[in-house]
Every structure is written in structure tokens, then in C-alpha cells.
Structure 1
Amino acid sequence: MAELNGVPVEPAQWQSLALTNYGHFTTMRVDDGRVRGLALHLDRLRRDCGTLFGVDLDPRRVRELARRAVPASGAVVVRVTVFDPECDLGHPAAARQPQVLVTSRPAGALPLPPLRVRPVACVREVPEVKSVGLFAGLHHRRQAQLAGFDDALFVDREQAVSEGATWNVGFFDGHRVLWPEADCLAGVTMELLKGVHDHDTRRVPLAELSQLQAAFATNAAIGVRTISAVGGTGLPGAPDIVAALHRQYTAIPGDLL
């Protein structure tokens, strides 16, 4: 389904989003009407709306609109996109009336099979905002897939790991989970995992990955997914830790949308 402010969206209303591509979003997995980290998703939308449009966003209204896309039972992925249909390339400063677009799709079964990722030099523009501008991430994902990998892993100018194309990355050094200290989007799933498992945050140079025991990707749609190789570096894997993180994450109670 696709609704703009609670009403089925018309093709003309998509035009600004398609042609101008200025806005932000969050993606939530909804299981039987409940969302893990719902408050974090709503906080993100409110914060990013202030950054991109300079106005406040009513989280209660967003919640009402998102609820319309959720069946009574089962699992779906709901995306809430905030954009101004009147925004144009020449006058983005005039975009001050953001609207709420809600779309949904069936959720896949979890957990997913391991990923093989290709490291690429990339730092997203305004990385702290979950923007609709996904060109760089999708381009690098496409190039990685054409080269025989599943996805792209971003590294900065000093060859330190930051994030994946549309996900956060974590590592296990044999004692604790490591999250990269880098310019990246702080994902909701990552923040939830920080609350249930011992962790540290530090720079993770690409050259040091062979010394780590495991790597994994996280976001709301995929949960916790093993990374089996980064470029030519195979990670031996620590299935117990990835399985434990998956159990801890799925055990987090969801909030009723």
C-alpha cells in the first residue's frame, strides 16, 4: 500500500520525490502490530525533519498514519518517508510543508544467509540523516554485485570501516562487540543491540579485519546478518556470538504501533 497523509497517493504527488529526491525516511519491521525501538524510529523522523525542513514533526500523527499500513497479524516492513511535494530544484529553501508517505511490503523470514561484501571508499553526504538520496549506496551495491559480491562496505579516506550501503556493521574481537567510530548513520537496530550486549566503539581499520573473529550487518529489515568475507579477507566466523545477538535482538519486546 501507499498513502500520503492517510489517503491513497496519486501519481502526480510522487513527482517531487522522484525528480527532486529531497527528504528522509525510516524503515520499520512490524511483527503482529509491534515495532522494536519504535520510539527511536519516531525520534529519528522528528530530528531529521528539523534538519531538512526546519519544522517539527508530530510523532503521534506519524504513528497513526503508519498504523494504517499494518495488518492485525503477520510481519510487514513499513517505510515512512517525509518529503514536501512542492519542493523543486531551484528553490529547496521554500520546502517547509513536509508530508508523510507510508508504504509497506511483506517482511522476509529471518535470519538471512551470510553476506560477502566489497570494501569501497565512500562517505555519505550528511551521514547522520537517513535521507532518500540513496544513489551512492545503490551504485556501490550494484558494482559490488557485478564483481561477485553481495553488497558494499564503506570505508573512509583513512581506510577505516564506517557502515554498509543500507546497514550498520559490527564486529566481534573474541571478547566484545565492536562498533566503528566513524561518520555514519546510527541505526535503530544497532542502538538496540548496544543496550543488550557488551560492546565498545572505536576505529576499525580495514587492515585489521583479519584479526577479528566475526562481522555482521544490522538494520530493521534484516535484523542481524553474518558477514562471511570482506573483499579477499575471509572471516572465520563466530556463529555463537551472531546467534546470540540474533536471539537477544528478537527477544526485545516490540511497542504497539
Structure 2
Amino acid sequence: MLSGMAKLNEQAVSVGDLLPLALTSYGHFTSMRVGADRRIRGLSLHMERLVRDSRIVFGAAVDTGRVRDLVGKALDGRDGPCVVRVTHFDPAVNMGHPEEATGPQIMVIVRPAGELTPPPLTALSVRYERDLPEVKHCGLFGALHARRTARLKGFDDALFFGPDSHVTEGVTWNVGFIDEDGTILWPEGPVLPGVTAALLQERTEFKVAPVTLDEAKTMPVAFATNTSIGVRALSAIDDRPMTVEHPVLSALREAYLSIPGEEL
């Protein structure tokens, strides 16, 4: 058996349960930061993501009430902030007949959370575009290979750009910019729609426009967003240093931290 922190429909996960997922990567997931009060920012958006992605991946519905119940049980007895990953996959998936994977199950994994606003990160630009980027799926090879490439070259992570040289997103985060006028700019392109980015867009004025890699490097500020880190500044893209302190960036952080968590 694997660690008791991983549960498949309330039962401890076995190697046999995970083997089909390991061999095929056919599934989807969402990760949520849970506060010490067991509340989750953007919980409704996370549930919407699971429902939307399950229709695309499995053509099946998701019982979000059941998801909330399983997450709540997985959190019992745990103190402090943590990150919960809910993975939706079919343990009976067959590589030769993926169309027969119509009975997806719910796996919940809990891990400790890091700092909500970690130190600035450096990013190496890497040409890469996700398969089916609108779905938060389990096919992470390309993204993790980009991260490995970046880290081997001394950077913290990778920033993706497409064949048109337009910036899209990071490995596990959305990227945004603040231009010379103090306007928040989200790059237009095929990206995974992040919950943290969506929450910020609900509460701030912004624009969406194509951003080339060269343009990204001339922006005064670049920042990363996801559920684990909130709003994190980029201190460099490739060899181009970025400003890590800015009034608009501070306002973004404050806006995010002021969002009340939702009860499970």
C-alpha cells in the first residue's frame, strides 16, 4: 500500500490502483490550497474545473458533493495549511481502448503547503505548448521536461512560448505582466485557465493581449499565479532582470489575500 495520505474513494491507494494512471497518464486533476480554517479560495471554480474537464476527458459527470466530502475526510486530523490534489481517473483504463474508460474514480492526496508568497523566481523561456491546454490533465511529461531543462541551466522554472514566439504560461502557473502604464496584462494564447488568475481577474481591471517573448522581457514586472503560491514575482526572464516590487503587484497580492475562502 502507498501512504495513507493518498485515498481512492476513501480507501488507501494500492500500486495496482495507480499502475494504469502511471502507464497512461490518462486523467485530470485540480489542486487546492486549504487554509488552517479548512476554507479554500476559489473552491467553486475548482469544482467547475473538475466538471468541465471530466466531460472532455471521460464524457462523464462528477459528483462535486462527493468530492467535497472526500476532501473533508482526507483533511480530518490535519493541522495548518495544506494542498489537496483531487485526481479523477479510471483505474480500469486500457491503452488500447481508452474509449472504454467511462468509470472515473476520485483520488485525494494531501501534502503540506509552502509559503503563500514565496521569493521571486527566475524563468528560462522554453518553446512548448501543452496537449489540450484547456484541460488540467495528468500528461505532464513535456512540462516537467521543460522545468528540468530550466533548472539544469540554473533557473527556477520554465516560461513557455509558442511557435509564434508568443508567451503563454509557466509549467504549473499562469503568467501576467504589469506594463509601463501600470496596466495588468494577461497574455492571449492557448493556456490552462488557472483558478487564481480567474479570481484576480474578477477583482481587478486588466487586459488580455498577445505578448511576444521580446515584449515580455521589456515589461517592468512579470508575475506567476497559482493556488499554492498566490502571486509570485519573476525576478528574471532568461538574462533579463525584472522588478520584483511594484504598487500594482502589491495590490494584486492584497486582492488575492483578501478573498475569503469557501467552506467545503
Do both share a fold (TM > 0.5)?
A: yes
User: Letter of the aligned partner of 2:171 in structure 1?
Assistant: A
C-alpha separation in 1, matches of 2:230 and 2:97: 39
Mapped contact 1:54–1:96 kept (Cα < 8 A):
yes
TM-score scaled by length of structure 2: 0.94
Matches within 5 A, 1:88-167: 88-167=94-173
C-alpha separation in 2, matches of 1:233 and 1:209: 10
Mapped contact 1:209–1:233 kept (Cα < 8 A):
no
2:219 aligned with 1:212? yes
1:189 pairs, out of 192, 196, 214, with 196
Q: Tell me the equivalent position of 2:54.
A: 49
Matches within 5 A, 1:78-89: 78-89=84-95
C-alpha separation in 2, matches of 1:206 and 1:68: 44
Q: Tell me the equivalent position of 1:239.
A: 246
Deviation of 1:73 after TM superposition, in Å, equals 4.6
User: Letter of the aligned partner of 1:25 in structure 2?
Assistant: F
User: Letter of the aligned partner of 2:22 in structure 1?
Assistant: A
Identify unmatched segments of 5+ residues in structure 1. none
C-alpha separation in 2, matches of 1:211 and 1:166: 23
For 1:126-180, what per-residue CA distance to the aligned partner results, in whole angstroms no more than 9, with x for missing partners?
Answer: 0000001111111000010001111000001111100001110000013211001
C-alpha separation in 2, matches of 1:107 and 1:237: 23
Q: What percent of counterpart residues are identical?
A: 48
C-alpha separation in 2, matches of 1:125 and 1:10: 28
C-alpha separation in 2, matches of 1:210 and 1:2: 41
SS at match of 1:204: coil
1:14 pairs, out of 8, 15, 18, with 18
2:182 aligned with 1:175? yes
The number of residue pairs the alignment matches comes to 257
Q: Tell me the equivalent position of 1:37.
A: 42
Farther off after superposition, 65-74 or 19-28? 65-74
TM-score scaled by length of structure 1: 0.97
C-alpha separation in 1, matches of 2:19 and 2:79: 33
C-alpha separation in 1, matches of 2:38 and 2:79: 7
Mapped contact 1:213–1:238 kept (Cα < 8 A):
no
2:263 aligned with 1:256? yes
Mapped contact 1:6–1:65 kept (Cα < 8 A):
yes
SS at match of 2:94: coil
C-alpha separation in 2, matches of 1:217 and 1:137: 16
Mapped contact 1:28–1:221 kept (Cα < 8 A):
yes
Mapped contact 1:78–1:103 kept (Cα < 8 A):
yes
C-alpha separation in 2, matches of 1:46 and 1:77: 20
C-alpha separation in 2, matches of 1:38 and 1:17: 25
C-alpha separation in 2, matches of 1:209 and 1:161: 7
C-alpha separation in 2, matches of 1:202 and 1:125: 22
C-alpha separation in 1, matches of 2:73 and 2:102: 25
Mapped contact 1:77–1:106 kept (Cα < 8 A):
yes
Deviation of 1:236 after TM superposition, in Å, equals 3.0
Mapped contact 1:33–1:73 kept (Cα < 8 A):
no
Identify unmatched segments of 5+ residues in structure 2. none
Mapped contact 2:30–2:86 kept (Cα < 8 A):
yes
SS at match of 2:225: strand
Mapped contact 1:30–1:70 kept (Cα < 8 A):
no
